[in-house]
Structure 1
Amino acid sequence: MSELAITVIGPDRPGIVADVAEALAEVGANLTDSTMTRLRGHFAMTLICVGPSGPEAEAALAPVVADGPLVATVRQVGAEASSTPFGEPYLMAVHGADRLGIVSALTRVLAEAGGNVTDLTTRLTGPLYVLLAEVELPPGTAESLADRLSEVAVGLDVEVTLRRADSDLL
């Protein structure tokens, strides 16, 4: 059994998810993890599947991308090293006027504290920039990290909150 990382990107249209999922199911690919979104009219999907070889998955996706606007990549990946989180789950929310460097500055603060970003979404809605991130933090670092994030946020003219996340019940 192969474990594959697959990406599909291109202009959004109805049916992309169904087309990709059907093509992969036909070659026995079990979708284990996935994320899909639309970004300003562009579709983006990343998924991990188990089953076919890379060439089999590429061949299955060929008809989906044949007309040109979609691009798919298939890459062999190794098994996940550990599914156990290394730290404590937190949510970081940022909002304020859009400006260059918000993501880089705040994620650098997280990285320097040993934090790991596990999911991140940004949106620009008019003049308002919003960033939502799920992060894992080393035990005992949240309070000092929240202070450091607030210091950096002042220089960026944004507001940031960091709060403990409820653990997944799944």
Structure 2
Amino acid sequence: MEASREDAPLRTSRSDLAITVIGKDRPGIVADVSEALARLGANLTDSTMTRLRGHFTWTLVCSGPGAAEVDAALGPLVAGGQLLATVREVGPEVEAAAAGEPHLMSVHGADRLGIVAAVTRVLAENGGNITDLTTRLTGPLYVLVAEVDLPAGTADAVAKRLAEVAGGLDVEVTLRRTEMDVL
């Protein structure tokens, strides 16, 4: 007996894809994109979505069919020009060595050029890895919040250097150790 198309097993050839979707915000974008991916059998594994000054932005990683198939499936959503979607294949996640000690850094003060560049340079020079970063401008107040992995034993030196840089920018900076969430 011949198997019907519906009974056929899922494709064994799967790709890891990075997808970005940006455009003017409106209700239903997440539902539209995730439904298109689900119809293809793409498994959404990691994502982050936010609104930036009325614009929707979503970055996601999924495992599924090839980039061309996903791009075609998203075609109707971008056809009107209100959304832009990019799809590219990425390699599988490589297990990293111990990432260091998790910290939360926050910066707030009057908005001025160079805040992000200055504080992230301190982190980079000390082997810090930013795992999440958010910034907001609310009137004249600029706020930055970042999750950072720092090499063991470097937090005090990093905090001292951040304080020096913050003083030159006339902003407040805090760095505190966080505990890893257990899911």
Question: Aligned residue for 1:89?
Answer: 102
Structure 1 CA distance, aligned partners of 2:117 and 2:82? 30
**Which residue, 144, 160, 175 being the options, matches 1:147?**
160
Structure 2 CA distance, aligned partners of 1:116 and 1:34? 19
Deviation track 1:30-83 (CA, whole Å, cap 9, x = no partner) reads 000000000000000000000111011101111111111100000100011115
Give the length in aligned residue pairs: 170
TM-score, normalising length: structure 1: 0.98
Deviation track 1:73-109 (CA, whole Å, cap 9, x = no partner) reads 0010001111565111100000000000000000000
Task: Say whether residues 1:133 and 2:146 are aligned partners.
Answer: yes
Moved more, 79-88 or 143-152: 79-88
* 1:17-166 matched pairs, under 5 angstroms: 17-82=30-95, 85-166=98-179
Structure 2 CA distance, aligned partners of 1:166 and 1:41? 33
Quick check: which has more Rg, 1 or 2? 2
**CA 145–164 in structure 1, closer or farther in 2 if over 3 Å, else same:** same
User: RMSD of the alignment, in Å?
Assistant: 0.9
Identity %: 72
Structure 1 CA distance, aligned partners of 2:172 and 2:18? 35
Gaps of 5+ in 2: 1-13
TM-score, normalising length: structure 2: 0.91
- 1:91–1:134 contact (8 Å) kept in structure 2: yes
Q: 2:174 is matched by which residue type in structure 1? A: T
Gaps of 5+ in 1: none
Structure 2 CA distance, aligned partners of 1:169 and 1:71? 35
**SS of corresponding position for 1:18:** helix
The structure 1 segments of at least 4 consecutive aligned residues displaced by more than 3 Å after TM superposition are none
Task: Say whether residues 1:3 and 2:16 are aligned partners.
Answer: yes
Structure 2 CA distance, aligned partners of 1:38 and 1:168? 25
**SS of corresponding position for 1:143:** helix
Structure 1 CA distance, aligned partners of 2:97 and 2:137? 33
**SS of corresponding position for 2:105:** strand
